[in-house]
């Protein structure tokens, strides 16, 4: 499945992944700055991403715990999801996945944490 | 006044239990958090919500601001229209006006002569990019009760969020957010005999309502309202809600009786008194009467040992007559002569009788002095007079 990541500076990074792969791990494998502080255990909001339409509507709806964590993510938009809960499938072919400019962890000094 | 039971529940949290409820690592924090969560549940029980759907704020003004500006701004990429009424509380109208400067369009629905909105006009006002409808449940100046149930149905059918400012209605009439299809509701502490400085906002989780937070910070209150929750005030709000739930029926009966007494006595002794707002769809504890041919301010000053107002507390400093009365089509001279009588849980029968007696006495006295009254007695139609400038 081909998707295009757009990182914090606006650089487009096309990547290719396997069906069923977790979008968070896919991003981390390609060096994108998604922190994933809770290691995909649905306990933080650092893997917050924006997913383009119409791909967003094709995904299964987020469950309540994901919605609760999304509430706490800054710069929330209507097309926000947690990347660790999105699995690659053919429905995401050609999707554009953008990173928000900030996450809940306050790295205002520009520090980029290594993937957990 | 604050109910003494509410004060009792608050005192421990003002003295011994001073922990910050958001401190997760020590017992002071845990006990404060437990109290805060209990208060949250008490508020939720009163309106039929889940406790996770309650956000503590600094009052209904903040709740209204959060709800209206938050929802509008979150969905602004696709939806830029808001519907509200002309009789809303000032904070709602002011929030809408500030949104208009940000590029949103707002429809201010007019009300009928009885103060209720016309449901057909509401239907006609919907546009494809409407994000929010805001209609208060009980008006704070004339006491009318809007048809919240019907409005909720209409909003659900159009898939538009429904916000209601329920500050005057909570704890006085039964409210259920699921029954009435309400998505956002503002609650005020000091309107239900609780402390001043605290309120709450109900934000529906299913289907989820998203808000852009007004206060940024550490992400407290689900990220929607950062800032330390004032434990004693929140506990007070919770206790007030629980007490209100228990006493709602009894209070309603008692207040209806007292209101009936006040209105009947005044109207039987004094002619030309108009009750503003619908007679049937109202909350009995808020009565607005207009005394024709009498100036409202002079009547208020004559009755200065009774706590009355000619409008609402938030407009008592301004000189213009109430915009609510203007919206229901009251003539300007009657709008100037209106007085709002508020009857509550702690109002006694003696107080009502005293007020009635003084009111009748002063209205008669002021009318004796009034040239307009003399002219009416002589049979002159006031509207036919051409007033000249001197």
Query: pLDDT tens digits for B87-142?
Result: 999 899 999 999 999 999 999 999 998 889 999 999 999 999 999 999 999 998 88
What residue ranges do the domains of chain A occupy? Answer: 2-98
CB of A104 within 8 Å of any CB in chain B? yes
CB of B224 within 8 Å of any CB in chain A? yes
Is the domain of B215 the same as that of B315? no
Has residue B390 been placed in a domain?
no
CB of B210 within 8 Å of any CB in chain A? yes
**A–B CB contacts, 8 A cutoff, strictly below:** 26
pLDDT at B120: 93
Distances (CA, A) of B234 to B4, B95, B183, B185, B231: 16, 25, 22, 17, 5
Query: pLDDT tens digits for B5-29?
Result: 999 999 999 998 888 988 888 888 9
**d(Cα B56, Cα B374) in Å, to the nearest integer?**
55
pLDDT at B4: 92
CB of A93 within 8 Å of any CB in chain B? no
To the nearest whole Å, the CA of B178 is away from the closest chain A CA by 18
pLDDT at B309: 78
Residues of B in contact with A108 (CB under 8 A): none
pLDDT at A26: 87
| Residue partners of B25: CB distance under 8 A and separation at least 6 | none
User: What is the β-pairing status of strands A48-51 and A80-82?
Assistant: antiparallel
CB contact under 8 A, B219 and A77: no
* Active site amino acids of B: 314
To the nearest whole Å, the CA of B17 is away from the closest chain A CA by 28
CB of B223 within 8 Å of any CB in chain A? yes
**d(Cα B149, Cα B175) in Å, to the nearest integer?**
10
Is the domain of B165 the same as that of B30? yes
Whether B315 has a pLDDT exceeding 60, the answer reads: no
Is the domain of B188 the same as that of B304? no
Is the domain of B346 the same as that of B224? no
Residues of B in contact with A53 (CB under 8 A): none
**d(Cα B82, Cα B132) in Å, to the nearest integer?**
5
Query: pLDDT tens digits for B199-229?
Result: 999 999 888 899 988 888 888 888 889 889 9
Can you tell me the mean pLDDT for B167-190? 92
Where is the domain boundary, B204, B229, B244?
B244
pLDDT at B317: 55
CB of B74 within 8 Å of any CB in chain A? yes
Whether B318 has a pLDDT exceeding 70, the answer reads: no
**CATH at residue B350:** 3.90.1150.10
Is the domain of B342 the same as that of B235? no
Distances (CA, A) of B42 to A39, B240, B245: 36, 9, 9
Residues of B in contact with A64 (CB under 8 A): 205-206
pLDDT at B310: 73
**d(Cα A76, Cα A70) in Å, to the nearest integer?**
7
Is the domain of B155 the same as that of B84? yes
pLDDT at A100: 87
Return the CATH number of the domain spanning residue range A2-98. Answer: 3.10.20.30
Print the domain residue range for B78.
4-244
* Two tokens, residue B89: 């509380």
Q: Is the ipTM of this complex over 0.90?
A: no
Distances (CA, A) of B225 to B13, B65, B212, B231: 22, 12, 10, 15
Is the domain of B254 the same as that of B297? yes
Is the domain of B253 the same as that of B231? no
Q: Predicted confidence band at B234 (pLDDT cuts at 50, 70, 90)?
A: very high
pLDDT at B292: 85
Is the domain of B300 the same as that of B365? yes
Is the domain of B59 the same as that of B175? yes
Where is the domain boundary, B218, B244, B270?
B244
Distances (CA, A) of B196 to A99, B192, B213: 42, 10, 23
Q: Predicted confidence band at B389 (pLDDT cuts at 50, 70, 90)?
A: low
Is the domain of B225 the same as that of B276? no
Whether B384 has a pLDDT exceeding 80, the answer reads: no
Is the domain of B226 the same as that of B262? no
Helix, strand counts (H, E) of chain B: 12, 10
**d(Cα B246, Cα B383) in Å, to the nearest integer?**
51
Has residue B95 been placed in a domain?
yes
To the nearest whole Å, the CA of B55 is away from the closest chain A CA by 13
Query: pLDDT tens digits for B108-120?
Result: 999 998 889 999 9
* pLDDT per residue as tens, chain A (116 positions): 888 888 888 888 888 888 888 888 888 888 888 888 888 888 888 888 999 888 888 888 888 888 888 888 888 888 899 988 888 888 888 888 888 888 777 777 777 777 76
Residue in A64, A71, A78 nearest the CB of B223: A71
Where is the domain boundary, B244, B259, B280?
B244
Whether B56 has a pLDDT exceeding 70, the answer reads: yes
To the nearest whole Å, the CA of B73 is away from the closest chain A CA by 10
Q: How many domains does chain B have?
A: 2
Has residue B389 been placed in a domain?
no
Strand order in the sheet with B161-165: B54-57, B199-203, B184-188, B161-165, B130-134, B81-85, B105-109
**d(Cα A82, Cα A47) in Å, to the nearest integer?**
6
Highest mean pLDDT pick, A63-67, B176-180, B319-323? B176-180
């Amino acid at each position: 499945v081909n998707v295009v990541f757009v990182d914090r500076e606006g650089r487009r990074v096309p990547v290719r992944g396997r069906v069923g792969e977790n979008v968070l791990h896919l991003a981390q494998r390609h060096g994108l700055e998604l922190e994933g502080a809770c290691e995909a255990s649905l306990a933080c909001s650092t893997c917050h991403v924006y997913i383009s339409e119409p791909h967003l509507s094709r995904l299964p709806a987020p469950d309540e715990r994901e919605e609760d964590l999304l509430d706490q993510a800054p710069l929330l938009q209507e097309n926000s999801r947690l990347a660790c809960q999105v699995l690659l499938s053919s429905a995401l072919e050609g999707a554009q996945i953008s990173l928000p400019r900030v996450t809940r962890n306050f790295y205002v000094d520009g520090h980029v944490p290594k993937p957990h | 006044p604050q109910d003494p039971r509410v004060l009792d529940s608050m005192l421990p949290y003002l003295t011994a239990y001073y922990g910050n409820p958001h401190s997760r690592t020590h017992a002071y924090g845990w006990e404060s958090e437990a109290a805060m969560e209990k208060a949250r549940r008490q508020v939720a029980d009163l309106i039929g919500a889940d406790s996770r759907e309650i956000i503590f704020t600094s009052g209904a003004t903040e709740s209204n601001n959060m709800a209206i500006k938050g929802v509008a701004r979150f969905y602004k990429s696709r939806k830029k229209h808001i519907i509200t009424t002309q009789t809303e509380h000032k904070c709602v109208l002011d929030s809408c006006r500030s949104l208009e400067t940000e590029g949103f369009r707002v429809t201010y629905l007019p009300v009928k002569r009885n103060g209720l909105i016309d449901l057909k006009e509401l239907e006609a006002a919907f546009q494809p990019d409407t994000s929010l409808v805001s209609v208060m449940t009980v008006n704070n100046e004339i006491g009318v009760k809007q048809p919240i149930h019907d409005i909720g149905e209409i909003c659900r059918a159009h898939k538009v969020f429904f916000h209601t400012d329920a500050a005057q209605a909570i704890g006085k009439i039964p409210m259920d957010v699921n029954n009435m299809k309400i998505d956002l509701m503002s609650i005020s502490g000091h309107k239900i005999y609780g402390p001043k400085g605290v309120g709450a906002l109900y934000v529906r989780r299913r289907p989820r309502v998203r808000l852009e937070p007004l206060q940024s910070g550490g992400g407290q209150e689900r990220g929607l309202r950062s800032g330390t929750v004032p434990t004693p005030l929140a506990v007070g709000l919770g206790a007030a809600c629980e007490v209100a739930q228990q006493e709602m029926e009894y209070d309603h009966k008692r207040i209806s009786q007292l209101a009936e007494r006040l209105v009947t006595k005044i109207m039987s002794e004094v002619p030309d008194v108009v009750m503003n707002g619908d007679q049937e769809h109202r909350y009995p504890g808020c009565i607005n009467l207009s005394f024709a041919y009498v100036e409202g301010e002079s009547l208020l000053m004559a009755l200065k040992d009774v706590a009355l107002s000619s409008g609402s507390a938030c407009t008592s400093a301004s000189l213009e007559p109430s915009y609510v009365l203007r919206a229901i089509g009251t003539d300007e001279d009657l709008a100037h002569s209106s007085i709002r009588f508020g009857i509550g849980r702690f109002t006694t029968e003696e107080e009502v009788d005293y007020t009635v007696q003084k009111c009748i006495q002063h209205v008669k006295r002021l009318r004796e002095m009034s040239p307009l009254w003399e002219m009416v007695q002589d049979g002159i139609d006031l509207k036919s007079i051409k007033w000249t400038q001197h």
